């Protein structure tokens, strides 16, 4: 039995475009790697949906579509970094790598590009989750 049998990785996925959400789900699958618990992905199609979701659930990571309308993921990322303490890591989906400077303004932890790359996106998400686990405080008695 896996050491992660009773845990899941809670992911919030935001895009106004169902096709983008479907592509992200398909690229991520149910499990990123053996060292990361299986994924449980919640979806939001609006900024209000994201704000309700984070008020009701704690997420391990968020994936926000920078191209979403009318509320883009970049502005939403900036808002969440200001308002959530602690704020989970954010992976921002951008149309071009040249938009990386905008992602830095949004304080996103990582970027991935549209169209969704089914190899790069899971690798990026796994790297972000591993970095979060490394930085997280360890419970008493844990190395």
Are 37 and 67 in contact by the 8 Å Cβ rule? The answer is: no
Give the C-alpha distances (Å, rounded to integers) separating 59 from 19, 68, 106, 126: 22, 20, 18, 15
- In this predicted structure, what is the pLDDT of residue 95? 87
Flag whether pLDDT at 10 surpasses 70: yes
Between 5 and 109, where is the model more confident?
109
Highest mean pLDDT among 80-84, 102-106, 133-137: 80-84
Grade residue 138 by pLDDT with cuts at 50, 70 and 90. Answer: very low
For 107, counting Cβ atoms within 10 Å of its Cβ (0-12 exposed, 13-18 middle, 19+ buried), the class is middle
Which domains can be identified in the chain, with CATH numbers?
9-134 (3.40.50.2300)
% residues pLDDT > 70 (the chain): 89
Average pLDDT over residues 90-116: 86
**Residue 61 binned pLDDT confidence (cut-offs 50, 70, 90):** very high
What single string gives the DSSP state of each residue in 34-76? TTSPPEEEEEESSHHHHHHHHHH---SEEEEETT-SSS-HHHH
Mean per-residue pLDDT, 31-59? 97
Q: What pLDDT score does 5 carry?
A: 55
Please state the rounded mean pLDDT for residues 3-13. 82
Question: What tens digit of pLDDT does each residue of 19-41 get?
Answer: 999 999 999 999 999 999 999 99
Using one digit for the tens of pLDDT, what is the confidence trace for 108-133? 999 998 899 999 999 999 999 999 88
Give the pLDDT mean for 35-61. 97
């Amino acid at each position: 039995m896996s050491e992660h049998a009773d845990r899941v990785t809670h992911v919030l996925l935001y895009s106004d475009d169902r096709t983008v959400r479907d592509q992200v789900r398909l690229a991520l699958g149910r499990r990123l790697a053996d060292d990361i618990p299986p994924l449980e992905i919640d979806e939001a199609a609006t900024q209000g949906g994201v704000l309700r979701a984070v008020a009701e659930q704690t997420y391990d990571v968020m994936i926000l579509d920078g191209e979403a309308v009318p509320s883009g993921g970049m502005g939403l990322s900036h808002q969440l970094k200001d308002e959530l303490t602690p704020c989970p890591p954010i992976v921002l989906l951008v149309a071009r790598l040249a938009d990386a400077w905008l992602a830095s303004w949004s304080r996103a932890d990582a970027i991935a590009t549209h169209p969704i790359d089914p190899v790069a996106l899971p690798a990026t998400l796994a790297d972000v989750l591993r970095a979060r686990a490394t930085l997280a405080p360890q419970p008493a008695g844990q190395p």
